[in-house]
Structure 1
């Protein structure tokens, strides 16, 4: 790159065996100057604290953001035990970061005041909203996505928002978000990205509602737990209504039998994260008493995703890469139905980079079972 400044978004991956080695390899693969920011998607195989400290020492003067994952997406499709890094070049991007800490102390009533006195004019858009999008990374175990998104949506107005809930390789114990040279839990970061390049945010799901319905008759909405469906023990009624033959409600069974809720004219998936010893269902997304859930059927994700990519290309022209946040349940379901090779081929041919998450953020909605993200176009010649 001698004699010229880098441009666009540069995407690389490493599978170095140590946290320090991974940071060192990324510093070799990427320019260490001329960048607006670096965003990293880190497998929990690595120590998040050692990795972020090592990245800060290599990328002095360049802010590094990111999160832990439930799987990574890079040029060869789905992966694990790796680090994916995206370098946003300063020739095409400006970034303003807004960390949000102590999310567990925030409830619905004071969500709009989250993080202090935020005003649209202070978020780095300079009134040029059409050139901006919001990128949000949040601790996937904090159960505060809806509150955070509601507040951010108010702050940003009509600026599009995308992002993901950090994962921990399907353990559902602790996840991390990176900013300020450190790894944080119970936190989120809003990145307001301003770019001279064409872009388009997107979200694609592949769940088709069935006919069998369940009413949530007993729930703990704050913890996203459902104890009863149709006035019956939740796990038993979920098994019966969804037609699940086995009583072993492991991650594979949960991924194969999604539920959806109707909101306005749309249907949105609600993934069951786990079933506890008492037979209660723990959800990955907002749930409430009185909500009607419909048993759904996961359809082939390849064709609708290919059609979406084609539509985006028609709208913004050639796409340099897609930054994607994909639900881990969508990945597990595709693997179960032997569509993993096809979808990896699709991602490879369209340059999709990102990670598998515990939730996807799109506009004011926290979603499950989607591929959500932003397509970055090419500079006009």
Structure 2
């Protein structure tokens, strides 16, 4: 297969139709982006493509359509069909081969948690990683690619079995503080928080993180994420914008009664470098890191004038992928994180 991550600078429908015409015998999957992770590091207005050799990878894929009306039981049925096809295709694989999944999902659908729930309960021991498709900084429309078409309100799930060693990874650079806020009123369906601690959400958020509510913008939210504790670990929940009524639009699911913890930032270069080294020490020589990085993570790094260092770190370590409106990692949909899969090289055993 080939995966492609395409800047919204290009027309996605024309692009995927033409690419599929030129490669009629190769399945092509992917999505539009909020920035690209290319062999040269961070990039914009570009296309990044990766080929997966049939000698090392066996795949099966399905589109998930009409996400706006998606139900978990329908998702489970699709995943069951996909697993059956995958099992048939991988019958001849060695017992030592292992599997993982990639998920590309419309970043404007606001249904990532429902999709992840359906997948997680259906695929048992196959771990999933992926990203929500982007639209630059416009937040208007994002696309995923399947069957030679650009689709909205859709996702693409790809199951992959390989003889190569691999590890899934997740990296952020935050730690919790003692400052907490409770969601006291929310529009759960649309990920809108109206009140925090029984106060107008934007006003209370500004007070908690120590900035003026008159200065709330995407860069402010990138610099001051909040965390949610799940199963003993903390995950970022990023804010997209302030609404005219003083409510806050989130990138991830929220709920009334949810406790949001103000985050303290650590050095993003150090945290990312340490993770990449840990993966390399674990797997040996790395063929590629396939990465899904939150747009807000990039904006935060840019604000601190660390873009060159982060881009060079990615270039040096062969981190390839795209910048997202949200990241998937196992059963979670998260923000302001780098997730992905590190794939090692084939070990040749002498006879």
Per-residue Cα deviation, 1:320-349 (whole angstroms, up to 9, x for no partner): 110000001111001111111111111011
Is contact 1:261–1:267 with CA below 8 Å preserved after alignment?
Answer: yes
Helix, strand or coil for the counterpart of 1:376? strand
Write out per-residue CA displacement over residues 341-362 of structure 1, whole angstroms, 9 at most, x where no aligned residue: 1111110110110000011111
Provide Cα deviations, 1:212-232, integer angstroms capped at 9, x if missing partner.
Answer: 111100001111110000111
Q: Which residue of 1 aligns with 2:124?
A: 157
Q: What is the deviation of 1:115? A: 3.5
Output the CA distance in 1 between the equivalents of 2:46 and 2:304. Answer: 24
Verify: 1:52 aligned to 2:16, yes or no.
yes
Deviations 1:109-135 (A, max 9, x none): x46546475364443454959511100
Aligned counterparts of 1:132 and 1:380: Cα–Cα separation in 2: 17
Alignment match, 1:25: none
1:136-165 Cα offsets, whole Å, 9 max, x none, are 000001011111111111221111110000
| Equivalent in the alignment of 1:92 | 56
**3-state DSSP of counterpart to 2:81:** coil
Alignment of 1:276-355 (within 5 A): 276-355=243-322
Cα 1:119–1:91 change in 2 (3 A) is closer
Aligned pair partner of 2:150 in 183, 188, 194: 183
8 Å contact kept, 2:286–2:343 = yes
Cα pair 1:101 1:115 within 8 Å, conserved? no
TM (norm. structure 1) is 0.87
Tell me, yes or no, if structure 1 residue 64 matches structure 2 residue 31.
no
- TM superposition shift of 1:174: 0.8
Alignment partners' CA distance in 2, 1:148 and 1:179: 17
Question: Alpha-carbon deviation of 1:267?
Answer: 0.6
5+ residue gaps in structure 2?
Answer: none
Q: Is the 8 A contact 1:258 1:298 kept in 2?
A: no
| Local SS of the residue matching 1:335 | helix
In structure 2, the residue matched to 1:32 is none
The reply to whether residue 209 of structure 1 matches residue 167 of structure 2 is no
Which residue of structure 1 lines up, in the alignment, with residue 337 of structure 2? 370
Confirm or deny: 8 A CA contact 1:100 1:114 kept in the other structure.
Answer: no
Superposed, 1:31-46 pairs within 5 Å as: 37-46=1-10
Q: Residues of 1 paired with 2:34 and 2:161: CA distance? A: 28
**From 213, 217, 231, the counterpart of 1:250:** 217
CA distance in structure 2 between the aligned counterparts of 1:71 and 1:54, rounded to whole angstroms: 22
Which moves more between the two structures, 129-138 or 52-61? 129-138
State the distance in 2 between where 1:255 and 1:297 align.
Answer: 12
Task: Note the residue ranges of structure 1 that are not aligned, 5 or more in a row.
Answer: 1-36
Looking at structure 2, the residues matched to 294 and 116 of structure 1 have their Cα atoms a distance apart, in angstroms, of 35
**Rounded Cα–Cα distance in structure 2 between residues aligned with 1:114 and 1:338:** 47
TM-score (norm 2): 0.94
Partner-residue secondary structure (3-state), 2:113: helix
Note the 1:8-19 alignment, pairs <5 A: none
8 Å Cα contact 1:217/1:231 also seen in 2: yes
**CA RMSD of superposed structures (Å):** 1.6
Deviating 4+ runs (over 4 angstroms)? 125-130
Structure 1 residues 246, 275: closer, same or farther in 2, change over 3 A? closer
Relative to 1, partners in 2 of residues 1:56 and 1:322: Cα closer, same or farther, differing over 3 Å?
Answer: same
* Alignment partners' CA distance in 2, 1:377 and 1:83: 24
* Contact kept? 2:76, 2:119, Cα under 8 Å: no
* SS of equivalent residue, structure 1 residue 247: helix
Larger relative contact order (C-alpha < 8 A, sep ≥ 6)?
A: 2
Return closer, same or farther for 1:122/1:360 CA change in 2, 3 Å cut-off.
same
**Structure 2 partner of 1:106:** 70
For residues 209-251 of structure 1, what are the alpha-carbon distances to aligned partners after superposition, in whole Å with 9 as ceiling and x for unaligned? 1221111000011111100001111111111111113512111
